[in-house]
Amino acid sequence: MNTNTYVAIMAGGVGSRFWPASREHKPKQFLDITGDGRSLLRITFERFLKVTSAEKIFIVTNGKYLDQVKQHLPELADNQILCEPSRNNTAPCVAYTAFKLHALNEEANFVIAPSDALITNETLFSENINRALEFTASQNAIVTLGISPDRPHTGYGYIEFEGEGVDHGVYPVRRFTEKPDEEKARGFLATGNYLWNAGIFIWSTKTILAAYKKFAPEIYELLHRGMSVYNTEKEQSFINEFYPQTPSISVDYAIMENATNVFTIPAQFGWSDLGAWGALHDESDKDAFGNVISAERTITEDVHNTLIRARPEKLVVVGGVDDLMIIDEKDVLLVYPRNREQEIKKLRGLAEQEFGAEYV
């Protein structure tokens, strides 16, 4: 393992499309969504142990989740947990991480990735990450892993890449496109040079900070002021003051769509962003009728292509339905069509409006 390799895992989101299981006080990264006894955060951490050592893995989270991060990852020292005082999207998050790691090691290269992805071939995943690390270190490049699409998914962003690679399967990126409609997504697949954007980025601290200085100067100037306090006891008070002043913008918009030294590696290691319940249904083992059932006591009759998740003590009886999400939590029961999963975020807001914040 390269001593200059670091990993940052973003774990500060709410996971609102996994409501009602994912809540403000305990979002999905701390839940056992897959049913294997580990939280998504724990799974992601263990996956990156194939890339670098535990002391070089950092977690970027909201300050309110500090204790939960420690509970799920007791191996980490306090300095490995970056606590954001506000949710300002991913661009400030990445910049904060880059400044902190650069202050720690000016030769640092790092991977930044979300905490909620499902990856089935972790060996192939780590091979792709290591190839990207080698490339970015030698070329001062920004690299993103793109997932070779197998269907016209409308819930993912897309990466268009140049047809000719530059080095061992690394391709220049032509442009990023936000979530398309189905017709446009089918057109992307037909061309053969579009990938799903997995939100996994690899770069050196020098390269990405130079990009911020050029393309996101407001974020750069605010967080650069802390170079003398990063990795000291004064870091958190500095971040508490200056981080909320940064603009709320994604790293895709702030940096990736503007930089010219962006490359991608087309990958196929079995990936899903687990952004919503439908993704869990797609990626889970199913019974003979296409159902995914995570419950100890169920009776089903004439039920097809349905996701059922219930507490162990609850007997769930379902009959004569197709293509539903049935999610039973202690205080909320959700029954909704699977093909309308994008509305769950709105439903969560309605629950808060009608019945109070305790339901979100």
Position 233: which residue type? E
Residue with tokens 């319940």: 277
pLDDT category at 2 given cuts 50, 70, 90 is: confident
CA-closest candidate to residue 34, choices 291, 274, 289, 342: 274
Q: Which residues pair with 159 in a beta bridge?
A: 176, 195
pLDDT at 85: 97
| For residues 44-58, average pLDDT | 97
CA-closest candidate to residue 33, choices 201, 267, 273: 273
| For residues 40-69, average pLDDT | 97
Average pLDDT over the chain, rounded to an integer: 94
Q: Answer yes or no: is pLDDT of 343 > 70.
A: yes
| Domain residue limits, the chain | 5-272, 279-355
Q: Which residues pair with 318 in a beta bridge?
A: 300
pLDDT at 150: 86
pLDDT in tens, 288-338: 999 999 999 999 999 999 999 999 999 999 999 999 999 999 899 999 999
| For residues 29-48, average pLDDT | 95
CA-closest candidate to residue 212, choices 202, 221, 203, 201: 221
pLDDT at 191: 92
In the chain, what percentage of residues exceed pLDDT 90? Answer: 86
Q: Answer yes or no: is pLDDT of 168 > 90.
A: no
Helix runs in the chain, H state only: 40-48, 66-72, 90-104, 122-139, 182-191, 205-215, 217-224, 235-242, 251, 277-283, 344-355
Q: Answer yes or no: is pLDDT of 115 > 70.
A: yes
| For residues 157-180, average pLDDT | 87
Whether the CB-CB separation of 152 and 186 falls below 8 Å is answered with yes
pLDDT category at 66 given cuts 50, 70, 90 is: very high
**Chain Cα centroid distance, residue 41:** 10
If you write DSSP's letter for every residue of 33-66 in order, what string do you get? -SSSSS-HHHHHHHHHTTTS-GGGEEEEEEGGGH
Question: How large is the C-alpha radius of gyration of the chain?
Answer: 21
CA-closest candidate to residue 264, choices 148, 118, 123, 108: 148
pLDDT in tens, 193-250: 999 999 999 999 999 999 999 999 999 999 999 999 999 999 999 999 999 999 999 9
Q: Answer yes or no: is pLDDT of 1 > 70.
A: no
Residues 190 and 180: their CA atoms lie apart, in Å, by: 14
Q: Is 5-272 assigned to CATH 3.40.190.10?
A: no
If you write DSSP's letter for every residue of 60-124 in order, what string do you get? EEEGGGHHHHHHH-TT--GGGEEEESS---HHHHHHHHHHHHHHH-TT-EEEEEES--EES-HHH
